[in-house]
Structure 1
Amino acid sequence: MQHAPTRSRSVDGEGGIRQTRTDRPFLHVLADTSDKLSGVCSILEEKFTIAGERLDADSRLSQTPAAIVIRAELRDVDNIAAIKKRASKLAKARKRIFLLEHASHVCISQAYALGATLVLPGTVSRTRLLAALADPADGPSASSGDTSQPDNAVETAATAIASMFTAVTLGQPLDVDGTKEAGRQIAERITQHGLTEWLMTVRRHHEGTYQHCLLVTGVAIDFGLSLGVGRTDLERLYSAAMFHDIGKAQIPLAILDKPGRLDAAERALIETHPAAGYEFLKGHDGISPEILDAVRHHHEYLDGSGYPDALCAESIGDIVRILTISDIFAALIEHRHYKPTMPRAEAYNILCGMSGKLEKALVHSFKQVALTR
């Protein structure tokens, strides 16, 4: 194999990588082509000390970086194998950002399976990449064990969600127990650290469907805790939240993450996801009727104007009612790179304005979750 180039701010006489500036964070960049490597390094070297390697080079990184940025085609098994060879070194970096130009459910799932803490799909954006690396959590306290725990819960949950989507896409069995365990870990984190910290942590992750599922699960758990639901009902609630959008695995990411308004055909396709999720899940052991009901009906409204079955109040169960409020609120406060994040108070006011569609008493009970927890 031809020796692939290594790129850094400074290279010693034997080709090893060393850091030349101590006043800037040290980053490691991996890419599958020289052009990709050069492109990422040119974005980052203004603010960071960079060590760059092609994936087909022997790894020479000895210093643990603050973050690793990987830009590679994950449909290529050689690239996947090269990243796996570096797994022990990757695990030492607190941030592992994957830049995926081919953004499919399977590729995003693969990135999380390889240890990604953040996936940025689509064309490489200088603004988004620098914002991801300039997270406030990078301060001196970020290295403490307690501070890093919420990220671990997010990584576990994001991997579970990605695995779910891949199972649907490839027609494989779903890891029901693994998904429920991820929900349990979210419940534990929110019980210990609160909803606000969870929301802030999740917003460092994939923008769009994956982030949305994490937000909904966190909001639903905190809502359930605030209502004093029992352990069994809380498990049903966080399981329903984790599974609720699994039907979106059959919808292209270009539609799910579209910046502008959906046209009629796109909207009709989006509205197939509750029934599609229900159909996929109903053949799996460990999925209770209550969870299936919530997956199918989380877009139903009390006045019968929802979908897919146009249910009315008496046909909509308690878990569905809680999940619907959590789902709408989470959608409103999502972080999208193309628009400002809506303040939680404004999102709550929108819920209050949905008279006749949502249970008024539950919306009132949700106020503390929305504004202060």
Structure 2
Amino acid sequence: MHEGVIILVTDRPDRSADLAAALRQVGTCEVVGTDERWTAIGAPLGIVSDLTLTRPEAVQCLKALEARYRGQPLPVIGLLRRATPDALRHAKSLGATVCLPAYVPPQSVAAALANQIEHTCPLSERLVVHGVARAGEALTGLLAEARAGSPIRMEAVEAGLDPILTAVQEGGLARWLDTVWTHDDATYQHCLLVAGLAAQFSLHLGFRQADRHRFVRAALVHDVGKARIPLPILNKPGRLDPDETAVMRTHAALGYDILKAGGECDELTLDAVRHHHEMLDGSGYPDGLSGAAVSDTVRLLTICDIYAALTERRPYKAPMPAAEAMGVLQGMHGKLEARLVETFGKAVA
């Protein structure tokens, strides 16, 4: 139980009682409506917004909230009626630091808020929240452009790189992972996890600044091809069947084609996007590369990618503990470079 007031701003009276009850397990909860102007409320512990963002009164309320607490490390959980990239960007622009689908159980909302509050720090938390937000904006924009067949604008990705590296270096990998894990969208969460792990790995390895940027850049966009995978397959809860797996496996080559068509010229990025599922023994895809044909960048990124996939949090499965995930990596003899796996384990410990 935390000291301080949690504000639940809602336009759904039918849900507010259960949600407020769950939030009261975290701290004192006050329920307000869209007519709240925030002028009489001091610094709250956190905010939960359960509003329909297509309504002007909801937007006006949240804009007043953002203006009132701008610059303060205030956790704001936004519950989205539709968890689309546009809705996510809209919520972020209105001050949400974490977004969850509106159907998430009240206890899960309370747990996400508690996690945010527990890790709030005047500087480090602000850096992590800012880093996730900036990287998330870049990523959602990139995926939306790829999905729509619009030209890819990699300059937006560039703007998200320093915030990622600063957040991981100053706020710590654990706080980055905890913040990203509260996001529900699978592709969004996965790419941000991989980017954070890549940042930590590159820092641990002592990469030069330019090399850190290139590696994190490749990590952030490595799954851009998933924007062209049918949503029933991409978002399927549970294991894919063989036909669905074949479709999913096209994402690596699709991502390469998307970036290439958009004018991407960085060979390291193109290599990472196309080959991040290749294995040293030739059992990977899409090109069945093996041995020396698998670049150092791909060897590093593949380790980050597999670890992120194992430890992700999904509604239909519990995350694998870090130690167990490292055991899986260590057991992939001949597929991953053992020396790099050992170094990665030290980097994320």
Which of 19, 36, 49 pairs up with 1:70?
49
Deviations along 1:49-83, one digit per CA (max 9) or x if unpaired, are 223224xx574663154333333455678865775
1:50 aligns with 2:30: yes
Aligned to 1:284: 262
Deviations along 1:182-219, one digit per CA (max 9) or x if unpaired, are 12221123233442332233323335222211111111
C-alpha displacement of 1:337: 3.9
Once structures 1 and 2 are overlaid, which stretch shifts more, 130-139 or 71-80?
71-80
| Conserved 8 A contact 1:37-1:71 | no
Aligned-partner SS, 1:361? helix
Rg bigger for which structure?
A: 1
Aligned to 1:3: none
Q: Write the letter of the residue equivalent to 2:5.
A: P
Distance 1:166 1:334 in 2: 22
Cα distance change of structure 1 residues 113 and 169 upon mapping to structure 2, 3 Å threshold:
farther
Once structures 1 and 2 are overlaid, which stretch shifts more, 258-267 or 328-337?
258-267
Distance 1:103 1:293 in 2: 31
Structure 2 runs not aligned, ≥5 long: none
C-alpha displacement of 1:326: 0.7
Distance 2:56 2:230 in 1: 23
Q: Write the letter of the residue equivalent to 1:101.
A: R
Aligned-partner SS, 1:229? coil
Identity across matched positions, percent: 37
Distance 1:350 1:146 in 2: 31
Aligned to 2:9: 29
Aligned to 2:101: 121
1:101 aligns with 2:81: yes
Distance 1:37 1:160 in 2: 35
C-alpha displacement of 1:279: 1.6
1:329 aligns with 2:304: no
1:1-373 map, 5 Å: 25-31=5-11, 36-45=12-21, 47-48=23-24, 49-54=29-34, 57=35, 59=37, 62-64=40-42, 65-73=44-52, 83-84=62-63, 87-89=66-68, 91=70, 94-121=74-101, 123-135=103-115, 137-138=117-118, 142=120, 144-206=122-184, 208-251=186-229, 255-285=233-263, 287-370=265-348, 373=349
| Conserved 8 A contact 2:75-2:117 | no
Deviations along 1:16-71, one digit per CA (max 9) or x if unpaired, are xxxxxx9662313133xxxx3431343214644223224xx574663154333333
Cα distance change of structure 1 residues 168 and 86 upon mapping to structure 2, 3 Å threshold:
farther
TM-score normalized by structure 2? Answer: 0.85
Once structures 1 and 2 are overlaid, which stretch shifts more, 218-227 or 323-332?
218-227
C-alpha displacement of 1:285: 4.5
Aligned-partner SS, 1:280? helix
Distance 2:193 2:45 in 1: 26
C-alpha displacement of 1:324: 0.6
TM-score normalized by structure 1? Answer: 0.80
Aligned to 1:19: none
Cα distance change of structure 1 residues 267 and 175 upon mapping to structure 2, 3 Å threshold:
same
